[in-house]
Amino acid sequence: MWMDECFTTVPLGFFPENVTIRSAGPDTVYPAPGIPFGLSFLGTAFSDFDLIGFGYAYEQATKTRLASKAYAAAVPKTQLKDIVCRNDRRSLQMNRP
């Protein structure tokens, strides 16, 4: 890819649970059950705004990314909102007269 091209990728689907697993190299398997595959929108330089819009519109129309749940171990125990809110409360307490 050249410097004057850009792209964005959105989820197109997921391999089914009954897919046959094959080797794609010494430490890689492909396909595998539940692995996502995507659709890329390609554009020219400075078309980022349009590409993000296309990707967003596609995701909103298809809701494909919601078709598969994350593994429980992959979901962080601490969310960003927990840290931001906690820090906001701390700074408010420290700034009290």
Q: 1 pLDDT exceeds 60?
A: no
User: How far is 48 from 6, CA to CA, in rounded Å?
Assistant: 7
Span 8-44, pLDDT tens digits: 999 898 888 898 888 888 888 888 888 888 999 999 9
Q: In 3D, which of 75, 96, 97, 94 has the Cα closest to residue 86?
A: 94
The three-state secondary structure class of 24 is: strand
Let me know if 80 is exposed, middle or buried by CB neighbors in 10 A (0-12, 13-18, 19+): exposed
Alpha helices, DSSP H, located in 16-47: none
Q: In 3D, which of 42, 35, 31 has the Cα closest to residue 11?
A: 35
